[in-house]
Amino acid sequence: MNHQSELTTFAIITDPHLGLDESENGWKMHQHGEVLLRGHLRLALEGGAEFVLMPGDLTKDSEPWNHMAARQILSEQPLPVFVLPGNHDVRKSELPAEANWGIAKFAPFYQGFGPTGTHPYYSLDLKPSLRLIAINTADTPDESLVDTWGGRVDDEQLAWLDTELAASRGKRCIVMIHHNLLPHSRDDHEGTFWGHFLLQNRNDVLSILERHDVQLAFSGHHHVNNIARHGDLYEITTAGATTYPCSHRFVTLGPDFVQTRTVNFPDEQVVSVALRELTEGPFHMPTGDRQELAAVFHGRPEGRDAKLALRRI
């Protein structure tokens, strides 16, 4: 069997929003965060994952102690884990600066979990014919996103992405990204409350991915289980590890297909607390709408489990 015909299985665990010592649990389940993250990692290992992708929002709000906890938990388990910053892993003007690390700290702190230099974006060979392209959308080096929860890819990184994909020709390239390239719920449109889930300059990124025939992107941020399609590109987004329904996702990649299976955390009591926090706890949305939201978070069957055809590389 040559490497072109091998299967690769990995897991996606995203948006754990670790918040140690928080007095409020809330819909991001800070009081269960550590148990959930450790549990998802153990289940990924037991389920045969060869590595884990974590596309961002590792911490509640980029507190140094939560970054330290995240790195410690990742270090204590044997799987390779590749991380990205989310909008909650960088500085925001509305948060106290002394307890809120900025984007410059991310790459140096997470060496060994993807970043190798000073940039929070990177690419690496997962296998000889399989390359991971990790795109940073959380902030730019000049902290231009400090006043928004939205995401953007600056011109320097766009140029890097184009060059990197050109240099990776002949390999299957999979993209990891925090903010969404495609809408994942009926309310995701620019200018609406949900519009901030979409990457501000997603069309710039989409046109580069299209030009280089990229067929798979894995995102977080929206906290929903869904698969969206744009031409030959599938964007597979996974619900939060600690928000209802506390999901992780397995992905098996073959030479001409991708198969994915979503798992809710197998502790019904914890998941029922997450549902209660989302639908009854403090949240910026009326209760009826929140119940509808819970169904969107859980995802339709075809957005959770699917086998999709890919073009061979």
- In the block, residue with structure tokens 């299985």: 9
Per the CB < 8 A criterion, the answer to whether 137 and 153 are in contact is yes
Q: Which of 184, 202, 221, 249 binds Fe ion (CB under 5 A)?
A: 221
Min dist. Cβ of residue 63 to Fe ion (A):
15
State the DSSP string of 273-300: HHHHHHHHSS-SS-HHHHHHHHHHHH--
Min dist. Cβ of residue 28 to Fe ion (A):
8
For 84-98, give one letter per residue: b (16+ CB within 10 A) or e. Answer: bbbbbbbbbeeeeee
Stretch that binds Fe ion, among 81-89, 100-108, 164-172, 202-210 (CB under 5 A): 81-89
Stretch that binds Fe ion, among 106-114, 184-192, 219-227, 302-310 (CB under 5 A): 219-227
Nearer to Fe ion, 18 or 173 (CB): 18
Min dist. Cβ of residue 78 to Fe ion (A):
26
The site string for Fe ion over 147-176 (x = CB under 5 A, - otherwise) reads ------------------------------
Q: Between β-strands 226-230 and 233-237, what pairing exists: parallel, antiparallel or unpaired?
A: antiparallel
Residues 32-61 that bind Fe ion (CB under 5 A): 57
Min dist. Cβ of residue 45 to Fe ion (A):
23
Structure tokens at 133: 């392209």
Nearer to Fe ion, 131 or 196 (CB): 196
Nearer to Fe ion, 57 or 164 (CB): 57
Nearer to Fe ion, 150 or 254 (CB): 150
Min dist. Cβ of residue 55 to Fe ion (A):
9
Q: Which of 86, 114, 120, 245 binds Fe ion (CB under 5 A)?
A: 86
Q: Which of 31, 59, 62, 87 binds Fe ion (CB under 5 A)?
A: 87
Min dist. Cβ of residue 241 to Fe ion (A):
10
Structure tokens at 56: 């961002």
Per the CB < 8 A criterion, the answer to whether 52 and 11 are in contact is yes
Per the CB < 8 A criterion, the answer to whether 22 and 34 are in contact is no
Nearer to Fe ion, 62 or 157 (CB): 62
Structure tokens at 101: 């690390």
- In the block, residue with structure tokens 């072109």: 4
Min dist. Cβ of residue 255 to Fe ion (A):
33
Neighbours of 276 (CB within 10 A): 13
Phi, psi of 130 (to 5 degrees): -135, 120
Q: Which of 12, 15, 215, 217 binds Fe ion (CB under 5 A)?
A: 15
Distances (CA, A) of 128 to 6, 100, 168, 257: 11, 38, 11, 18
- Summarize as ranges the residues that interact with Fe ion (CB under 5 A): 15, 57, 86-87, 221
